[in-house]
Amino acid sequence: MSASRVALPLLLLALGGACAPAPEGPPDLLLVSVDGLRADRVWPLRPADRPSPTPNIDRLAQSGLVVLDHQAGGNESLFSHAVMLTGQPVSALAAPDYTSFTLPPAAMTLAEVLALYGYTAGAFVAGGHVKGAYGFDQGFGVYSDAADFGSLFHTLPAALDWLAAGPPGPRFTFLHGYDAHRPYLHTGPVYHALGADYAGPVDGWTERADTERIVNGAHHPAFVPDHIAHAEGEQLLDPGSYARLRAHAAGCAGHPLSPEDVRHLADHYDSGALSADLQVGRLVAALQASGRWARTLLVITSDHGEDLGEHGLYNHRSALADSTTRVPLIFAGGALDAGLRGRSLAGVSGAIDLVPTILGAAGAAPPAELRGLDLLAAAEAGPSLPLERVVVQEGVLPMIAAVSGTHRLVMWGVPLDSPLLPLALEAAPAAGPWLRLSDRRTDPGDQLNVAEADPAALEALRGALLLWMEERRPSEARGTQPQDPALQAILRARGYW
């Protein structure tokens, strides 16, 4: 870490502000998670012919440091935020069981480490599966999570009020909203900013589960998703329903989606991204007006993307693919080293890198068990991470992925908390249904399985994943879902319970 990142020299404000001296001492740290935001909606990965739904975030990416190939820790809010806020794999925190996972008290969160260095931490999140009851409130003096399945429109005002008041000293703020999250119907000031002239059936879908009823280009309104019991006996929407949906569709034609329907579903999604972007613009403007921008390191990312039909379904929990796990990662703000502005970092990074990176910016030592990289230090050293670097993702279905700069390997079918998982991975044949290898260079949409055609790449990633399993220390903790009846009622109403 360079001394300039701690000393905070005079910097030019990223979005057109005047030169101003930054105060001495550690920077304010602001981590924004736009839940469900895909990397291809943000510059520079958005296709040139697609209008931008994120002009404010684009501007931050262009004037700050953009990480080009950032991979979430998983494909669901609960798992992915756990990795984001601890720098640990899901299975190193607690049993990777979607029906019981919570952060155990022994987990060391980013907020807890920063507190040792004089930081005051506040979180302003949109509830749901980032509720404090799941263990995410550890280390935060303020954890506001009342806006259940809300958006940044709901969480930003409280965050700004907290930043404007309270004790002196450096702040760590965690801000979160479900703006771009399924079912792409979140209300906000720009709802239907795109596709307002559409006159098809999509706008008549009022149930959250309606997008979970789409498979292979057809909507199946008669399909009823499964529910399963978690460790406490409550009911949780079963991601395994997707297999039953495919079986249902094999015997039922459903209602085929027209090209206009597909476009409008994407318009709904992009409207959510635009809604989030508006709030990011408000955030930056408020920081500049208050004078905090000069001493703030702003980190913008997401916990997962959304598979908008690319693999047959509309959700994020049914696949470990770039559509569901490749997300933006942008560093901006007055506390970002001037030498990193207007630059990009290539090579695969993962959510496990966020904690060591943010701690490095604060001048704080990371816990010894972390295996992630300080991405700001890496960007100072060169324009790219090693091409052969591999990051691992754990899904809420029995699937695990290893991702490099060239390929993605996914293993299916074995519960992630099974002691037989390494043996099954080692023995799985290339020709069987358990392994899927895609070439990310020639097949960015992850449509072709080349496990048999490219044995060298298969074995390289298989070996990397086996080494990861050998080196990690699986947690014996098994969490329980929150017992708060009000939270359970909210989750049931959203189709999760």
pLDDT at res. 167: 77
Residue 493: pLDDT band (50, 70, 90) is low
Residue 187: pLDDT band (50, 70, 90) is low
pLDDT surpasses 90 at 484: no
pLDDT surpasses 50 at 348: yes
21 vs 411, higher pLDDT: 411
- Is residue 480, in this structure, part of any structural domain at all? no
Distances (CA, A) of 473 to 89, 137, 469, 483: 10, 24, 8, 28
pLDDT surpasses 90 at 318: no
What average pLDDT score do residues 8-28 get? Answer: 49
For residue 235, the surrounding DSSP H or E stretch is: strand 235-237
- Is residue 481, in this structure, part of any structural domain at all? no
The SS3 call for residue 154 is: helix
Using a 10 angstrom Cβ sphere, with 0-12 exposed, 13-18 middle and 19 or more buried, the burial of residue 469 is middle
Instruction: Return the closest-CA partner of residue 151 out of 159, 163, 140.
Output: 159
Residue 242: pLDDT band (50, 70, 90) is confident
Residues 299 and 162 in one domain: yes
Q: What percent of the chain has pLDDT over 70?
A: 88
What average pLDDT score do residues 181-209 get? Answer: 77
> What does the pLDDT look like over 402-458, one tens digit per residue?
999 999 999 999 999 998 999 999 999 999 899 999 999 999 999 999 999 999 999
- Is residue 130, in this structure, part of any structural domain at all? yes
Residue 492: pLDDT band (50, 70, 90) is low
Contacts of 364-373 spanning 24+ positions with Cβ under 8 A: 364/113, 364/114, 364/116, 364/117, 366/87, 366/113, 367/87, 367/108, 367/113, 369/88, 369/92, 369/473, 370/87, 370/88, 371/471, 372/87, 373/349
Contact 259, 200 (CB under 8 A): no
244 vs 114, higher pLDDT: 114
Residues 403 and 460 in one domain: yes
pLDDT surpasses 60 at 363: yes
- Is residue 489, in this structure, part of any structural domain at all? no
Residues 458 and 407 in one domain: yes
Beta strands in 290-383 (DSSP E): 296-301, 307-308, 314-315, 326-327, 329-332, 343-350
Residues 282 and 405 in one domain: no
Number of domains in the chain: 2
CATH number of the domain bearing residue 309: 3.40.720.10
DSSP class of 449: -
pLDDT at res. 12: 27
Distances (CA, A) of 417 to 239, 413, 475: 17, 12, 9
pLDDT at res. 495: 55
List the end-to-end C-alpha distance of the chain, in Å, as a whole number.
45
Amino acid at 302: S
479 vs 441, higher pLDDT: 441
- Is residue 241, in this structure, part of any structural domain at all? no
What average pLDDT score do residues 344-363 get? Answer: 98
Residues 151 and 270 in one domain: yes
Among 318, 350, 381, residue at a domain's last position: 381
What average pLDDT score do residues 46-70 get? Answer: 95
pLDDT at res. 473: 84
pLDDT at res. 234: 39
Which residue is it, tokens 């057109």? 16
Residues 371 and 431 in one domain: no
Give the span between the Cα atoms of 9 and 20, in whole angstroms: 10
pLDDT at res. 197: 84
Residue 487: pLDDT band (50, 70, 90) is low
pLDDT surpasses 80 at 496: no
Q: Which of 145-154, 251-260, 335-344 is least confident?
A: 145-154
CATH number of the domain bearing residue 445: 3.30.1120.10
Longest CA span, the chain:
67
Residues 175 and 281 in one domain: yes
Distances (CA, A) of 432 to 246, 425, 445, 449, 494: 20, 12, 22, 11, 37
pLDDT surpasses 60 at 497: no
Contact 376, 360 (CB under 8 A): yes
Instruction: Return the closest-CA partner of residue 73 out of 236, 301, 299, 360.
Output: 301
The SS3 call for residue 155 is: helix
What average pLDDT score do residues 451-476 get? Answer: 95
φ and ψ at residue 92, rounded to 5 degrees: -85, -10
Residues 296 and 401 in one domain: no
pLDDT at res. 2: 41
Contact 394, 74 (CB under 8 A): yes
pLDDT surpasses 60 at 231: no
Residue 241: pLDDT band (50, 70, 90) is confident
pLDDT at res. 416: 93
pLDDT at res. 236: 59
Residues 399 and 367 in one domain: no
For residue 138, the surrounding DSSP H or E stretch is: none
pLDDT surpasses 90 at 375: yes
* Domain coverage including residue 433: 391-471
Give the span between the Cα atoms of 340 and 381, in whole angstroms: 11
Can you list the alpha helix ranges (DSSP code H) found in 291-374? 322-325, 354-361
Instruction: Give the length of the chain.
Output: 497
pLDDT at res. 332: 98
Kindly report the average pLDDT of the chain as a whole number: 88
Give the span between the Cα atoms of 285 and 277, in whole angstroms: 12
What average pLDDT score do residues 171-184 get? Answer: 91
Residue 48: pLDDT band (50, 70, 90) is confident
What average pLDDT score do residues 345-365 get? Answer: 98
pLDDT surpasses 50 at 233: no
Q: What is the dihedral of CA 418, 422, 424, 430, to 10 degrees?
A: 140
Residue 5: pLDDT band (50, 70, 90) is very low
What average pLDDT score do residues 345-358 get? Answer: 98
Among 347, 381, 415, residue at a domain's last position: 381
CB atoms within 10 A of CB 140: 24
- Is residue 245, in this structure, part of any structural domain at all? no
Give the span between the Cα atoms of 293 and 299, in whole angstroms: 13
Contact 82, 306 (CB under 8 A): no
> What does the pLDDT look like over 81-123, one tens digit per residue?
999 999 999 999 999 988 889 999 999 999 999 999 999 999 9
CB within 8 A of 233, min separation 6: which ones? none
Residues 145 and 72 in one domain: yes
pLDDT at res. 191: 61
Buried b (16+ CB within 10 A) or exposed e, 300-325: bbbbbbbbbbbbbbbbbbbbbbbbbb
- Is residue 208, in this structure, part of any structural domain at all? no
Residues 344 and 395 in one domain: no
DSSP class of 202: G
Among 381, 411, 443, residue at a domain's last position: 381
Buried b (16+ CB within 10 A) or exposed e, 63-80: bbbbbbbbbbbbbbbbbb
Instruction: Return the closest-CA partner of residue 43 out of 53, 33, 32, 31.
Output: 53
Residue 23: pLDDT band (50, 70, 90) is low
Residues 44 and 111 in one domain: yes
- Is residue 254, in this structure, part of any structural domain at all? no
pLDDT surpasses 80 at 10: no
Considering 190-199, 280-289, 425-434, the range whose residues carry the highest mean pLDDT is 280-289
CB within 8 A of 100, min separation 6: which ones? 94, 230, 231, 478, 479, 480, 481
DSSP class of 341: T
> What does the pLDDT look like over 136-171, one tens digit per residue?
999 999 999 988 788 999 999 999 999 999 778 999
